Amino acid sequence: MNTETLTRGDADLAMLQDLLNRQRQDYHSDPVPDYEQRIRDLKTLARMIREHQEDMVQAISDDYGNRSRIESLFCEIYVVLDGIKDTIKNLKKWMKPQRRHVSLTSYPTSRNRVIPQPLGVVGVIVPWNFPANLTFAPLTSIFAAGNRAMVKMSENSSRLAALLARISGDYFPPEKLAFVPDTGGVGPLFSSLKFDHLIFTGSSSTGRAVMRSAAENLTPVTLELGGKSPAIVAPDYPLDTAAERILFWKLLNAGQICTTVDYLFLPEHSVEPFVEKAKQLVQKRYPDLQSEDYTSVIDDRSYRRLWDTLDDAIAKGATAIDLSGGQGSRDDRLRKFPPHLLLNVTDEMEVMQREIFGPLLPVKTYSDRQQVLEYVNRGPRPLSIYPFTNDKALTDFYIERMISGGVTVNNCVLHVAQHDIPFGGVGDSGMGHYHGYEGFITFSKLRPVFYQGPLDPIKLLMPPYGKTAKKILDVMIRMTK
């Protein structure tokens, strides 16, 4: 490492630490913003998005090379604004202290409360795939809980990051919200700061590094990672409906979604009709892959990785089916990767060993549900599972015996968009939850407070210990039966 790199790193760390100190000082000056202030912050956040909606959509598209405007409006703008609306509706209820039962030793005039209070300063590390959503959805929960926030965005989201850094000061002082530029190498420095909480969304490998850095400061983390999320189509479920839904979500954002279908289980007799339906759907929905409706792969490295993954699968015996019908010639400048099904896949193929993050869909066949269960449970716990069946017993079988971060039944991904249920992974797919009430709780300290009443029964147990204390304890222990 040369002197220039050391100097730049030291300067970056000093800048980050100064920003954190300013936010922490602001927190100490007003540690518990009242309900009205939090509502103002949430409404300001929504106003910031609404007033720069088109700028954000364009910046995201520029970062991608081409990002479908409809996909950005649906997945980035609408979902976040609807989440803010839901939070505003429920915040007063969430903020109310909770009354809790008082144990026998403290009767009769004492009381318990659990008071949700802000943690302080929260760090947010945002990936490139849904950069607005995964910035503003955590911020909604962070501000609802009364905190300050520092946000570090991906190098691949440079245009959106520059936009948000430029406009955020018009809505929030840097002591409340600050966007940290990342021109390379800032990520490890950011995760090494002594935040009161750190939320990271991204790959499992980077998540491990973030967690190691946070551990040095005992900073609690929420990790939203990825993994290989399966869809399982049961014999009883209409194949056309399953294909319509699975292909929509698989090709949304060109497959660059942590919760998308990573591989598909089909009954053995359903493969051929599924393939034919998939071809019809893709060619109808995307008659021209070079159009603005079909999103580009984020960068050249990811684009080359997908071609290498496809070539690896073919070389090891997979049958590759180009669902676009081989539209036109390959144009690497646009990075529009044609959607493919992969049949006859094996675990030796790279496509089955890591999260795909692109429009490749491996297909595995099965003859009974136990095969599916054993295969999924042999691997790391996925972020999601997607059973397609009208058989309630079969649905319960998969939900009860196959642990994942979340589940959508008879569709894909939609559990993530529900405001009144938590979103989060488990095991290799992450830890912790946010969204809605669970997000408010994640970024709050649930402060237990015991209020001693005028009468103190513990006085009867104070030394010197004698027969009275023994009799009282004998009675108390018998009452636990």
What DSSP assignment string belongs to 112-161?
Answer: EEEEEEE-SEEEEE--SSSTTHHHHHHHHHHHHTT-EEEEE--GGGHHHH
Specify if 411 maps to a domain: yes
313 and 287 share one domain: yes
Could you please report the per-residue DSSP string of 330-399?
--TTTT-PPPEEEES--TTSGGGTS---SSEEEEEEESSHHHHHHHHHHSPPPSEEEEE-S-HHHHHHHH
Is 258 part of the annotated catalytic residue set? yes
Using DSSP's 3-state secondary structure scheme, residue 200 falls into strand
Residue after which a domain boundary falls, among 369, 385, 419: 419
305 and 397 share one domain: yes
The pLDDT of residue 248 is 97
Residue 1 has pLDDT above 50, yes or no: no
268 and 337 share one domain: yes
Considering only 4-13, 188-197, 199-208, 387-396, which range has the smallest mean pLDDT? Answer: 4-13
pLDDT single digits (tens) 186-209: 989 999 999 999 999 999 889 999
220 and 236 share one domain: no
What lies within 8 Å, CB to CB, of 55 at 6+ separation is 163, 167
303 and 245 share one domain: yes
167 and 235 share one domain: no
Residue 105 has pLDDT above 70, yes or no: no
Specify if 181 maps to a domain: yes
Nearest CA-CA partner of 362 in 296, 405, 306, 401: 306
The pLDDT of residue 106 is 64
Q: Could you tell me if 161 and 181 are in contact, meaning their C-beta atoms sit under 8 angstroms apart? A: yes
Would you tell me how many other CB atoms lie within 10 Å of the CB of residue 455?
11
Residue 454 has pLDDT above 90, yes or no: no
40 and 152 share one domain: yes
**Quick one: 2 exposed, middle or buried, by C-beta within 10 A (0-12, 13-18, 19+)?**
exposed
Residue 161 has pLDDT above 50, yes or no: yes
Residue-averaged pLDDT of the chain:
94
Specify if 55 maps to a domain: yes
pLDDT single digits (tens) 216-268: 999 999 999 988 999 999 999 999 999 999 999 999 999 999 999 999 999 99
Provide the residue range defining the domain that includes 155. 3-225+433-445
Q: Could you give phi then psi for residue 193, rounded to 5 degrees?
A: -70, 155
The pLDDT of residue 329 is 62
Which pair of structure tokens corresponds to residue 364?
């595995």
Specify if 464 maps to a domain: no
How is residue 222 annotated by DSSP?
E
Read off the CATH number of the domain in which 106 is found. Answer: 3.40.605.10
Specify if 350 maps to a domain: yes
Which pair of structure tokens corresponds to residue 191?
């995760």
Tell me the torsion sign for CA atoms 325, 328, 329, 331.
negative
Report the pLDDT averaged over residues 90-108.
87
**Residue among 71, 75, 258, 355 flagged as catalytic:** 258
In which residue are the tokens 């896949």 written? Answer: 345
Residue 328 has pLDDT above 60, yes or no: no
Residue 16 has pLDDT above 60, yes or no: yes
48 and 138 share one domain: yes
What is the tally of structural domains in the chain? Answer: 2
The pLDDT of residue 479 is 86
163 and 63 share one domain: yes
pLDDT single digits (tens) 134-145: 999 999 999 999
Which pair of structure tokens corresponds to residue 313?
């699968």
Residue after which a domain boundary falls, among 366, 385, 419: 419
**Quick one: 457 exposed, middle or buried, by C-beta within 10 A (0-12, 13-18, 19+)?**
middle
The pLDDT of residue 2 is 53
Specify if 93 maps to a domain: yes
Cα angle value 287/289/293 (rounded, 5°) = 85
178 and 254 share one domain: no
**Residue among 224, 272, 374, 400 flagged as catalytic:** 224
Helices 133-144 and 79-95 pack at an angle, to 10 degrees, of 10
Q: Could you give phi then psi for residue 166, rounded to 5 degrees?
A: -70, -40
What lies within 8 Å, CB to CB, of 298 at 6+ separation is 63, 64, 65, 128, 129, 156, 256, 335
Specify if 451 maps to a domain: no
* Distance (Å, whole) CA 333 – CA 349: 27
Residue 69 has pLDDT above 50, yes or no: yes
Is 412 part of the annotated catalytic residue set? no
115 and 245 share one domain: no
How is residue 420 annotated by DSSP?
T
pLDDT bucket at 330, cuts 50 / 70 / 90? confident
Residue 6 has pLDDT above 60, yes or no: no
* Distance (Å, whole) CA 424 – CA 404: 9
What lies within 8 Å, CB to CB, of 318 at 6+ separation is 342, 343, 344, 345, 346, 349, 351, 362
pLDDT single digits (tens) 48-63: 999 999 999 999 999 9
Using DSSP's 3-state secondary structure scheme, residue 173 falls into coil
Percentage of residues of the chain with pLDDT beyond 70:
98
Q: What is the pTM of this model?
A: 0.94
Specify if 19 maps to a domain: yes
pLDDT single digits (tens) 398-433: 999 999 999 999 999 999 999 999 999 999 999 999
67 and 84 share one domain: yes
Residue 75 has pLDDT above 60, yes or no: yes
pLDDT single digits (tens) 275-304: 999 999 999 999 999 899 999 999 999 999
Nearest CA-CA partner of 407 in 383, 430, 378: 383
Tell me the torsion sign for CA atoms 170, 174, 179, 181.
positive
Read off the CATH number of the domain in which 376 is found. Answer: 3.40.309.10
pLDDT bucket at 459, cuts 50 / 70 / 90? confident
Nearest CA-CA partner of 265 in 374, 339, 353, 355: 374
